[in-house]
Amino acid sequence: MLSTALPGLRYRESNKNIWIMREETDEAANQQVISVWVRDPRIQKNDFWHAYIDYEICLHTNSVSFTKKISIVRRRYSEFVWLRQKLQANSQLMLQLPELPPKNLFFSMNNAQQITERMKGLQTFLEQTIQSPPLLSDSCLHLFLQSQLSTSKMEACAVGRTHYSVAQAVQRCGLRRFHSEEDLKKDLSMSCDSDSDSSECPKLRVKDLAMKKAASTALLGLMGTSQEGTLSCSCDST
């Protein structure tokens, strides 16, 4: 699958995407910060006829709600739709979820303005979502933001139908910028929690996995040449 950068777009980060959450304790008020960015749209091509755009999601936090404090994943629009549907279903319609940017039948991967508007809408959706304490407890949100699992794998993991836990899926994501499910299985087969039952650690036969060099060039300079663009979101990637 080829990944192609989209030239000519600029999207400045701002302090508006930093949400401060305060949790009162018996002794003092602890300030917790969750910062999220949606940026770097890229065209992903499975073949000549099928292509889509995905976006980089960078999260930086000191919140106890998150297993990992810095992460980078890539998600496409349809996965945002899946996330909202799962959050709505899991909240049993008790919460009014933020809206996603509407699906546009005339959306063009060659239209920089449409891509930028959608990207801003996706970021607004995430900014509003992470302000809700009930939603922050949803496993689907954490897997979406901090793993590179597919929607079917996220759904299975969230309900305990995988041999790895939500925390394991999150911890393994980001050791490389583009993490694969095969690598997750490989690592879990070689390293299981010492206090877990041996039956929970599948004995997978592991083959050496060659690093696939991304056929892409750096896009957007979304963190760009501006000083705002130097925000630290390395997410342990190489």
DSSP codes, 110-148: T-HHHHHHHHHHHHHHHHHHTT-HHHHT-HHHHHHHH--
221 three-class SS: coil
Residue 42 CA to its chain's centroid (Å): 15
Task: Provide the whole-model pTM.
Answer: 0.65
pLDDT at 226: 34
Per-residue pLDDT reduced to its tens digit, 155-186: 999 999 999 999 999 998 765 443 444 544 55
In the CATH scheme, what is the homologous superfamily, with its name and number, of domain 2-192? Answer: Phox-like domain (3.30.1520.10)
d(CA 147, CA 68): 10
Distance between CA atoms of residues 99 and 91, nearest Å: 15
pLDDT at 148 over 80: yes
Report the alpha-carbon distance of residue 133 to residue 205 in Å, rounded: 41
Give the per-residue pLDDT at 194: 37
Using CA atoms, how far apart are residues 169 and 192, in angstroms rounded to an integer? 12
Residue 88 has pLDDT above 50, yes or no: yes
Residue 7: half-sphere exposure toward Cβ, Cα within 13 Å = 1
Average pLDDT value over all residues in the chain: 73
30 or 80, which is more confident? Answer: 80
Beta strands in the chain (DSSP E): 2-5, 18-24, 29-45, 51-61, 70-76
Inter-helix orientation angle 151-158/139-146, to 10°? 140
